[in-house]
Amino acid sequence: MDLRLSFCGVEFPDPFTLAASPSTGTGEMVERAFDAGWSSAVLKTMAVEREEVNLVYPMIVGLDHEGERLLGMENIDLISDRPLKEWEQDIERLKKRYPKNVVIASIMASSKEDWQEAARRVEGAGADMIECSFSCPHGMPERGMGSVIGQNAELTERTASWVKQAVKIPVVIKLTPNVTDIVDIARAVKRSGADGVCAINTVKALVGIDIETMKVIPSVAGLSTYGGYSGPPIKPIALKCVAEIAKNVEIDISGVGGVTTWQDAVEFMLAGARNVQLCTAVMKWGYSIIEDLIDGLSYYLESKGMTSPEGLVGKSLPNITRHEELSRDYRVVAHIDEEICLRDGRCYVACRDGGHQAIKVSEDRLPHIDEDRCVGCGLCVSVCPVRGCLTLRER
């Protein structure tokens, strides 16, 4: 299957890109990723040498829930602490060894001079594109960098235009979800002349507190701070942001945030993304997940009779509308497949205490739907542990 897809005028061999993260923290790591099958990568965010970067450890902590480890992840990491000169050497080497792969340099700065210097240097080293981080939620905003820019439309437009004026290669702006209206920020990027947006970066969060020690985690000598939350739990937020931008701003979008499987990637493309980035899933499962992503998308496209992922981009956007435009006449009712029902009572309890008391249980623990009371809210379908056992059918 031909998975090529154009993004900001650059042809990508497939839609899957490694996001700027510890997984792209050195050129050697990116080489291993390329050897594993990745065709594009955003290098960990870098800055000119004048910008001092002091990292703290530990910087990563996972969120566990009901026995599932690392459901999501919070980090208090900063940008790369490696000198930009080393990154220039890495970019040159990567483009020499992997000329067909797309190498994207992520940069951050605190002044016009530094933004433009960093942009020119990575372009000179051979980077195919530049991604500007206007979105880091912790550490950098205190220096006038990161999300302090991306939360302000005026600063976003001005700073993006600085970078765009300095180079000839495409410029993508990475956006923060920690804003009131991400469409307003995306419009500012469009006005700046930049070529695309990447949505979203991590969500600012406090992942937890150790109730035994009463210390916030991750604990750095007893203290902690707010960090950036990533992983599957932020996917709905990222998907919403991508769709909002796609419906309102004519600009190429790279979707990122909670993408773990090829199915997730398809959803982001259906919502308007032309490129999909992964981070947390790679940190958890390794570079080899690219095989499942490529194979899964290929088989999916074949099953739909499609020859290219191009046909997916934005296909579901017409199905998104305002709440007041949804039909008030459409009616559904819950239906139970008795053959596969576990009879565990979850649907009964959920409907009784959170729904419309429309499920009754017989002496043999088999649930039954009272169609006179059922309004088709969908709660029972959501809590049922057996996929397909409870469904909603039109009345």
Q: Are 168 and 315 members of one domain? A: yes
Q: Are 299 and 332 members of one domain? A: no
Half-sphere exposure of 181 (CA within 13 A, CB side): 7
Q: Are 22 and 121 members of one domain? A: yes
Tally of residues, the chain: 395
- pLDDT at residue number 76: 97
- How far apart CA 65 and CA 48 sit, in angstroms, is 40
Q: Could you say which of 8, 132, 136, 279 is catalytic?
A: 136
Question: Structurally, how many domains does the chain consist of?
Answer: 2
Q: Are 334 and 223 members of one domain? A: no
Name the pLDDT band for 390 (thresholds 50, 70, 90). Answer: very high
Spell out the alpha helix ranges (H) of the chain: 27-36, 84-97, 112-125, 147-150, 153-166, 182-192, 235-248, 262-270, 280-285, 289-303, 346-354, 379-383
Q: Are 234 and 366 members of one domain? A: no
DSSP state for residue 317 in the 8-state scheme: G
Q: Are 189 and 335 members of one domain? A: no
- pLDDT at residue number 219: 97
Q: Are 244 and 337 members of one domain? A: no
| Across 25-54, average pLDDT | 97
Final residue before a domain boundary, out of 319, 354, 376: 319
The domain containing residue 128 runs over which residues?
5-319
Task: Say which amino acid occupies 375.
Answer: V
CA angle 392, 306, 268 (to 5 degrees): 60
Q: Are 249 and 184 members of one domain? A: yes
What is the CATH number for 377?
Answer: 3.30.70.20
- Asked if residue 186 lies in contact with residue 221, where contact means CB atoms within 8 angstroms, the answer is no
Name every residue whose Cβ is closer than 8 Å to that of residue 259 and which is 6 or more positions away in sequence.
Answer: 235, 238, 265, 268, 276, 277, 278, 281
Buried-state track 329-340, b at ≥16 Cβ within 10 A, e below 16: eeebbbebeeee
Final residue before a domain boundary, out of 258, 288, 319: 319
Q: Enter the tokens of residue 333.
A: 């009712």
Q: Are 346 and 224 members of one domain? A: no
Final residue before a domain boundary, out of 275, 299, 319: 319
- pLDDT at residue number 252: 98
Q: Would you say residue 142 has pLDDT above 90?
A: no
Whether this prediction's pTM lies above 0.85 is answered by yes
Q: Are 334 and 305 members of one domain? A: no
pLDDT digits (tens, 9 = 90+) for 246-296: 999 999 999 999 999 999 999 999 999 999 999 999 999 999 999 999 999
Q: Are 77 and 24 members of one domain? A: yes
Q: Are 214 and 336 members of one domain? A: no
- pLDDT at residue number 82: 98
CA angle 30, 35, 41 (to 5 degrees): 35
What is the CATH number for 257?
Answer: 3.20.20.70
Name the pLDDT band for 160 (thresholds 50, 70, 90). Answer: very high
pLDDT digits (tens, 9 = 90+) for 47-64: 999 999 999 999 999 999
Buried-state track 125-148, b at ≥16 Cβ within 10 A, e below 16: bbbbbbbbbbbbbbbbbeeebbbb
In the residue annotation, 136 being an active-site residue is answered as yes
Q: What is the mean pLDDT of the chain?
A: 97
203-205/252-256 β-pairing: unpaired
Q: Would you say residue 66 has pLDDT above 90?
A: no
- pLDDT at residue number 293: 98
Q: Enter the tokens of residue 373.
A: 């009371």
Task: Residue 136: name the closest of 227, 73, 71 by CA.
Answer: 227
> How buried is residue 318: exposed, middle or buried, by Cβ count under 10 Å (0-12/13-18/19+)?
exposed
